[in-house]
Chain A
Amino acid sequence: MRTLYQFHGGIHPPGNKEPSTQSGIARAPLPSKLVIPFRQHAGAAAKPIVRAGDQVLKGQLIGMPDGFVSSAVHASTSGTITTIGAQPIAHPSGLPDLCATLIPDGREEWILHAAPSTLRQNSGQASLRTGFDYRNSDPAELRQHLRMSGVVGLGGAVFPSDIKLRPGNRKIDTLILNGAECEPYITCDDMLMRERAAEIAQGAEMLRFMLEAGEVLIGIEDNKPQAIAAMRQAVAESGFLFEVVAVPTIYPGGSAKQLIRVLTGLEVPSGKLPTDIGVQCFNVATAYSVYRALAHGEPLLSRIVTLTGNVRRAQNFEVLLGTPVRDLVALGEALPGTDRYIMGGPMMGLPLSSTDIPLVKASNCIIAASDKLFPPAPPALPCIRCSRCAQACPADLQPMDLFWFAQSREFDKAQQFSLFDCIECGACSYVCPSHIPLVQYFQFAKSEIRAREHDQQAADHARERHEFREYRFEREKQEKAERLAARELAAKQAQPAEPSVSPADAMQQKIQAAIAHAREHAAAGKPKNTENLTAQQQAEIAEIEARRTHIHELAKSAAEPPNDHGESHS
């Protein structure tokens, strides 16, 4: 039996996981419209590579990763792209973002796809999916394949998985598969582990291979006995030396840093990454999508979403990415009193402004909410500094102090009190007897600090460019002066070559040279069309010349009398 550790704080909210685990994962029907955002992952949005009107196949790349922290976006089914433009997405701001609207043709026709280096072109079948021996592949090639398959962390942070798999400066001792799923109501990972444990185990082995990790631990909270049993069986059958560990049920035990603490006793230092202490952590659903991408060449096109809360039939659905929330909630038949929907769990979830918003890679759960289920928060009271929040904080922070600094906009002090170690789990707000929305303050302070840092960077960059411009002006001025000096020097050096010639002689020489030049020019400039003439042409010329001399003579005799007057006038 493995020794487990504890993290500080944590809370025990009611789980409410039973309703959605009564039946297995169902495949949601094909919706009439898909809205696929190009920003479904942490980092830069993917760049659209299709245009409105294009026909696409299921699994076709429609968004190219743009930048280091970015990931690919694919068409979730075959059909026609009707528009590419800003549409509302699941974001706390409620602002729209770039999305592609895809009208499915209902055929679900796959694009030719295969695992890396095994694309069997002779098969001729577009739907053929092939497995391959990833062990004989280069990990860099596998990472690139994951990037182009749009595989990101499905636990909620949606960080591109290929970046987490890059070799760091430290060896990875422990790979942790996160199946804790600590947030109430959500059961998508639970059901995935129950039904697709073998694939998760295979995906975990692929991750272990790429990271060259020593041991693999699969952490599952002990309120999921069926998932634990299924994973244990799958691991035993696969023959991999993984350990499935039941961890105590406590919120937020499924947060990466907290799970690492429980399983290994190690604490990720402030401002560091788990890899700095030799641990890497992936969600079980991510392992599953890694398996689908590497073993079958399938990009990430769907995910398991829990539909629960105030609905008649709570269940988990496998949903195509881009499915509007409206189409999913229709399957659960919302009960009367449902007035809003929450994407995510009740602790960290996001209230949705509309049901047109599409389900994306980060959407693990949709809760139909009513005032009965989640009574509105009572009005807040002033902080009495009871420190219940500090007792509950899993990151060992002092939320009452952070609240104080955020409220008075003393962001420097908030940062000194390790604001950025806050995981925004909401445990402090949950226990606060004054019902202060603490997490909102921390989110506010964090985004203010980030904006300031961004502005400062922009200012430093502008200063650098401005200084370079001034330096460039200075340099150009100097270069010009140098060129001028060099020319003057050259002129001076050229003069002493003929010192014996006096200025007057030099002038005479120049004139002579000019005359000679003019003569040469005149000789060369003789019209060429007066040679090789026929007799008739010569006769014509002679006649014209004779007429011309005659006119000259006439003009001379006529002009002579008034000539004296003309001269006196001029």
Chain B
Amino acid sequence: MLSALLVMAGIAIVLGGVLGFSAIKFRVEGNPLVDKIDAILPQTQCGQCGYPGCRPYAEAIASGEADINRCPPGGEEGIRKLADLLGVEFKPFGGGTVLKPKSVAFIDENLCIGCTLCAQACPVDAIAGAAKQMHTIIASECTGCELCVAPCPVDCISMKPIGENIANWKWKYPVYTLAQAK
């Protein structure tokens, strides 16, 4: 009886030690779920979700305080991917959500006064220019977040939709007639 108790207690102590050691040794920094969610988000850093960037939104989703349907740039497909990852139901966008075509910012260089406010607002450093010098958008780096539009004191920034061109054109889903059953 006593030996059995001792054996069981010994096993418990050893296993507890192993668990305690591995909890310290193999500790995961941060929440891996946040990284997975962040990988799905489109990284426009636009703040349309109500959080200051994609990662804070990912953290909010992971902690359960935010819904998965608050990212318009990610589109419905983004919601679907998040639903798959988190094992929750797909949830359509709320009524007030406006889905805009993919755009890039454009600075009217004749109007720019070089105040640098837009460059400070850009979350991905896609605006080049120094104080009192004309600024311009590095179009290939622009995520279309629109954060630079509001700070501009002379309203010289506009959003230009990226139209369909040879480089980004996609084959359409095949449409053809099926034979009618007779």
Contacts and interface: CB of A to CB of B under 8 A. Distances in A.
A93 B172 CA distance: 9
B179 A463 contact: no
Given A39-B166, A440-B171, A451-B170, A466 B177 contact: no
Interface string A350-381: 00000000000000000000000000011111
Nearest to B141: A465
Interface stretch (A122-130, A394-402, A441-449, A529-537): A441-449
A496 interface: no
A304 B32 CA distance: 59
A349 interface: no
Nearest to A379: B179
A332 interface: no
Nearest to A465: B124
A39 B143 CA distance: 26
B170 A468 contact: no
Contacts of B126: 465
Residue among B126, B171, B177 with the highest chain A CB neighbour number at 10 A: B171
Contacts of A468: 125
B177 A379 contact: yes
8 tightest A-B CB contacts, nearest first: A379-B179, A462-B43, A440-B174, A459-B43, A93-B169, A465-B124, A447-B170, A443-B171
A454 B162 CA distance: 15
Contact of B179 (A39, A381, A451, A465): A381
B169 A463 contact: no
A11 B123 CA distance: 55
Given A93-B169, A379-B176, 6 more contacts: A93-B164, A379-B178, A382-B178, A462-B44, A462-B143, A468-B125
Interface string B139-182: 00101000000000000000000001110111111101111100
Nearest to A437: B174
Contacts of B43: 458-460, 462-463, 466
A463 B54 CA distance: 9
A39 B167 CA distance: 10
B177 A380 contact: yes
A459 B179 CA distance: 43
Contacts of A443: 171
Contacts of A446: 171
A81 B126 CA distance: 36
Contact of A466 (B123, B173, B178): B123
B178 A93 contact: no
Contacts of A441: 174
Interface size class of A (residues with CB under 8 A): 20 to 34
Contacts of B141: 461-462, 465
B114 interface: no
Nearest to B165: A95
Contacts of B125: 465, 468-469
B116 interface: no
Interface of A: 39, 89, 91-93, 95, 97, 377-382, 437, 440-441, 443-444, 446-448, 451, 454-455, 458-463, 465-466, 468-469
Interface in B22-51: 38, 41-45
B166 A462 contact: no
27 contacts: A91-B166, A91-B169, A95-B165, A97-B165, A379-B177, A379-B178, A379-B180, A380-B176, A380-B177, A380-B179, A381-B178, A381-B179, A382-B178, A437-B174, A440-B174, A444-B170, A444-B174, A447-B169, A447-B170, A454-B168, A459-B41, A461-B141, A462-B43, A462-B124, A463-B43, A468-B125, A469-B123
Contacts of A460: 43
A46 to B, nearest CB: 14
A466 B166 contact: no
B171 A92 contact: yes
A437 B174 CA distance: 8
Nearest to B42: A459
Given A379-B177, A463-B43, A466-B43, A451 B168 contact: yes
Contacts of B38: 463
B42 A447 contact: no
Contact of A95 (B169, B172, B173): B169
A241 B53 CA distance: 65
Nearest to A37: B166
B53 to A, nearest CB: 7
Contacts of A380: 176-179
A349 to B, nearest CB: 16
A269 B16 CA distance: 50
A466 B172 CA distance: 33
Contacts of A95: 164-166, 169
A378 to B, nearest CB: 7
